[in-house]
Structure 1
């Protein structure tokens, strides 16, 4: 009986501690859709076609809204200013999106 009790407690604790897994950008899908020249980087002409970061939305930040939002976001993400985005630079998009686990109780 004690074993069943501990197993139940362990299951509840482990499911609680892994309940909030933030969604991440689907890199393969993003590359297939937007990396038109298949060089594993994104130039501005490719990035101009980006509508969202499926399954993630476009950032709500006011700096990246309006008609030239893609250009502004591209310039912001291009940290080394080489006019192309590699995955590491594009990954910084997560810092502009709300954290779905922000209000989740800590372990």
Structure 2
């Protein structure tokens, strides 16, 4: 199963340069890396990245994360994936820009 992380351009550059990342400021504050499912990702983008361009959408295969991945309740009691270790570049299945068009982030078709 794929889960998704939205990174700002500098956060993505940092992950590529260092090979691992403790995440965005919210991840550092909470002590884990926040992810979303395909269904949750558009709401995450609208809530936490409204109006922001220069974003990257990272897809991560859950099988690569092992026991460090936990599903925990968040918005409205829905279970969200949280990673209790650093995100490694080798965890990323693919990454692509998440463009902003007329104020709405454009997710790739067929997001699973």
The bucket for the TM-score relative to the shorter chain is under 0.3
TM-score (norm 1): 0.26
Greater fraction helix? 1
Comparing both chains, which one has the higher relative contact order based on Cα–Cα distances under 8 Å and sequence gaps of 6 or more?
A: 2
